Amino acid sequence: MLKETPREIIFIRAEVDVLADHCEAIVEVKSQRVGSFTGTAQGGINTTDQLRAVARATSDALSDAFKAEGARVRVIGVQLVDAVAQTAVVVSLATSAGEHTKTLLGISDGTSDPAKATALAVLNATNRFLGRGA
């Protein structure tokens, strides 16, 4: 059995509330060092817009968690992809920390909970850039 690496950022929750003409996403993550961070974002009511709002809320929470290090995370795109009899969420991100910038991709199984999968895909992409488990 593989030894698990301690995670700097732990996923807590992702929720999307669909209202009459827009959605509101809220994502909470927890940093082992400095506590919990919550990001919020609004978007349209179709599925893609909801997932983009979740990705933006996640990127905002991560940017707040790593503000002291000067790290920023920005969402470029989100897409649901059917592949190998599963639905996956793929996110594209622009990240920066100090003078280093990079475009990243993250993926997560979106079959049962696309909102959670979107937040996890953002964490999947950023963990390598930030040099920490996600």
pLDDT, residue 131, reads: 56
pLDDT at 59 over 90: yes
Beta strands in the chain (DSSP E): 9-18, 23-31, 35-43, 71-83, 86-97, 100-109
**Residue boundaries of the structural domains of the chain:** 9-129
Residue 118 backbone zone (phi > 0: left; psi -120 to 50: alpha; other: beta):
alpha
pLDDT of res. 3: 47
Percentage with pLDDT > 70 across the chain: 90
Contact yes or no for 122/10 (Cβ under 8 A): no
Looking at the domain 9-129, which fold is it?
A: Double Stranded RNA Binding Domain (3.30.160)
Mean pLDDT of 57-65: 95
In this prediction, residues 21-44 reach a mean pLDDT of: 94
Question: Which pLDDT score, from 0 to 100, does residue 6 have?
Answer: 55
Angle at 108 between CA 19 and CA 126, to 5 degrees: 95
What pTM was computed for the model?
0.90
Confidence of residue 81 (pLDDT cuts 50, 70, 90): very high
Structure tokens at 102: 């990079």
